[in-house]
Amino acid sequence: MKKITDINIENKKVILRVDYNVPIENGKVLDNNRIIQSLETINYLKSKNAKIILMSHLGKIKSEEDKIKNTLIPVKKELEKILNEEIKFSEELKGTNLEDKINNLKPKEILLLENTRHMDYPEKLESNCDKELSSYWSSLGEIFILDAFGSAHRAHASTYGISEYLPHAIGFLIEKEIKELENIKEKSKTIILGGAKVSDKINVIKNLLPTSNKILIGGAMCGTFLKSQNINVGKTFVEDDKIKEVTKLIETNKIILPIDVITENGIKELNEITNEESIFDIGPKTIELFKSNLTNEKLVLMNGTLGLYENPNYENGTKKIFEFLSSNEINTIICGGDTGNASKKYEFIPYYLSTGGGAALEYLEGKELPALKIMED
């Protein structure tokens, strides 16, 4: 797989596919981590006098209203603020106006294109990797650099299709992501998993089990694990079709489950959960159990929160574990936007914060990511 440093980009028109799918509220970017992480590649391109054409998606586009709502204009403003320079912008994703803007670009100048998924309405041209659109977009540049790790599991026109027509390489962000995730695959570690669905994480557990010391299970997904042990979890979300697989995982003796929980009625021992209750957080005994399994650990992978942390009544598990990881200076790699948001809320500084949620999980499962696979050709 070619890296950006392996390819001649001097004075070239470079299409840089970034992942600026960031949370925006009232026209302002709430979390600029993905934008910050793209700067190394952008600054490298500028140092080579490249003319930079930035492409990214934002949200899903299923209507004209979605187009208005999911615009990259707030991202343009955020990038201007960070770089302290003007960023040119094109509302058009096709046509002579766009082509003129690109032809008028000077070396080191940056043009940000509107949300690539605007091409998904009325037809899903971007998401279906339309050949004509891929070919057209490739005609706008001379080199294609993929640096959108969070979108690398999607074979879309802007992540995959352009690669078929232009010399291509990966940027520094993707290079860093692969290095850290490979590190996680190979090194001895403890894993903390939360969130709602076992089905989203079960293949990650299976793939990383041989190199994991322990896997600590919290969040709503603990419902499926606990039910497999004949524990009544009330109204907690359960994936019954995963019970058999989960039982086998527990038999490895590497899975650590909650021993008490927080429901809408407060702290409950496992045998006290009623049919009408739901699990919203891990309990104080479980927090201590998890801490004991993290003591002396040198590397931790965390994906998903341990409870409904947005609600002050159910934030204790996530908060206390972050505090423990921090005070013990345990190197922690965080995957997933929700976990990243929680770490920010509790001012936890991870050793590494992945920019890829679904992409990182699929990579850790051992799946091939289409947009990375084509970069190998």
What is the helix (H) or strand (E) element at residue 313, kind and residue range? none
Beta bridge partners of 333: 301, 352
Give me the pLDDT at residue 377, please.
66
Are the CB atoms for 304 and 219 separated by under 8 Å?
yes
Q: What are the boundaries of each domain within the chain? A: 4-175, 187-365
- Residue labelled with tokens 């990966």: 170
Are the CB atoms for 84 and 185 separated by under 8 Å?
no
- Tell me: the pLDDT tens digits for 154-208? 999 999 999 999 999 999 999 999 999 999 999 999 999 999 899 999 999 999 9
Q: What is the mean pLDDT of residues 319-333?
A: 97
- The DSSP symbol for 239 reads -
The model's confidence at residue 106, banded by pLDDT at 50, 70 and 90, is very high
3-state secondary structure (DSSP) of residue 310: coil
- The CATH class of 4-175 is alpha beta
The model's confidence at residue 339, banded by pLDDT at 50, 70 and 90, is very high
Are the CB atoms for 16 and 41 separated by under 8 Å?
yes
Q: For residue 214, how many other CB atoms are within 10 A of its CB?
A: 16
Average per-residue pLDDT for the chain: 96
* Residue 348: HSE in the Cβ half-sphere, 13 Å Cα cutoff: 29
The model's confidence at residue 337, banded by pLDDT at 50, 70 and 90, is confident
What b-and-e string marks burial along 137-154, b requiring 16 or more CB atoms within 10 Å of the CB? bbebbbbbbbbbbbbbbb
The model's confidence at residue 59, banded by pLDDT at 50, 70 and 90, is very high
- Tell me: the pLDDT tens digits for 140-151? 999 999 999 999
d(CA 285, CA 331) in angstroms, rounded, equals: 24
Checking if the pLDDT of 291 tops 70, the result is yes
- Tell me: the pLDDT tens digits for 5-48? 999 999 999 999 999 999 999 999 999 999 999 999 999 999 99
Q: What is the mean pLDDT of residues 58-85?
A: 97
* Domain 187-365 in the same topology as domain 4-175: yes
Positive or negative, the Cα torsion across 299, 222, 342, 75? positive
The model's confidence at residue 336, banded by pLDDT at 50, 70 and 90, is confident
In CATH terms, the superfamily for domain 187-365 is Phosphoglycerate kinase, N-terminal domain (3.40.50.1260)
